[in-house]
Chains A and B, each alone.
Chain A
Amino acid sequence: AQSVTQLDSHVSVSEGTPVLLRCNYSSSYSPSLFWYVQHPNKGLQLLLKYTSAATLVKGINGFEAEFKKSETSFHLTKPSAHMSDAAEYFCVVTRPGSSNTGKLIFGQGTTLQVKP
């Protein structure tokens, strides 16, 4: 079975300061991991994905995440927050391979607030 836990439901940062959104996963198999962002009244946009290549993954808009197998973590970071980063972020796990076709397991989400 697979699951993902986002450790903070709400994170507040000041503009220009670093962002850290924490995610731990549980998987019986080598997982694929994703971070998606959802702005109000919008669909989900892919920020980045890990698929067993490099453990440090760079995404769009300056975000990156590091896969740490020993800690079963996949935390999302950004060096400097921008007001436009305010949104809800989802950590997602799936099992690559045809036996778990198309099924993403979502964390509960972390709301990122960016203060001016």
Chain B
Amino acid sequence: KAGVTQTPRYLIKTRGQQVTLSCSPISGHRSVSWYQQTPGQGLQFLFEYFSETQRNKGNFPGRFSGRQFSNSRSEMNVSTLELGDSALYLCASSYKGPDTQYFGPGTRLTVL
């Protein structure tokens, strides 16, 4: 099976812009979770989607949002970008949620 794919792999934006990241899970996986990785805060959970519904959300401001489509692909959106949003954004998929999660390679976002 193909692994989790994320696009784009690298992104450079300026403050105030918005960005959309995409994640395609492993075929058959219905749960998609998003994580932010920074040197200072480490890996932090953003949110999780299952069957197009957000089931769990981390402690991030409302500027961070997401959605999941009927084919389980997920997108994450960050509006009004701040310098502190520069991070590696990782997407993970699993069959149904509290299972082993398989990670994609990540999208490296740089905010200037």
Is residue A70 within 8 Å, beta carbon to beta carbon, of the partner chain? no
Q: Is the CB of B98 within 8 A of A46?
A: no
Best-surrounded residue of A43, A90, A104, A109 (most CB of chain B within 10 A): A43
Min CB distance B25 to A, Å, is 12
**Closest Cβ of chain B: how far from A6's Cβ, in Å?**
10
Choose, from B14-22, B50-58, B78-86, the stretch at the interface.
B50-58
A89: interface (CB < 8 Å): no
Per DSSP, chain B at the interface is strand
* Contact between B31 and A102, CB atoms less than 8 A apart: yes
Chain B positions 72 through 106: 1 when the CB is less than 8 Å from some CB of chain A, otherwise 0 = 00000000000000000010101001101111111
Q: Which positions in B face A, CB cutoff 8 Å?
A: 4, 31, 33, 35, 42-45, 48, 50, 55-56, 58, 90, 92, 94, 97-98, 100-106
Number of A-B contacts (CB under 8 A): 65
Instruction: Say yes or no: B43 contacts A90, CB within 8 Å.
Output: yes
Hey, which bits of chain A sit against chain B, CB under 8 A? 32, 34, 36, 42-46, 49, 90, 94-98, 100-109
Known: A44-B90, A90-B43, A108-B42. A102 touches B101 (CB 8 A): yes
Neighbouring B residues of A98 by C-beta, 8 Å: 97-98
The docked-state distance in angstroms from the alpha carbon of A8 to that of B58 is: 26
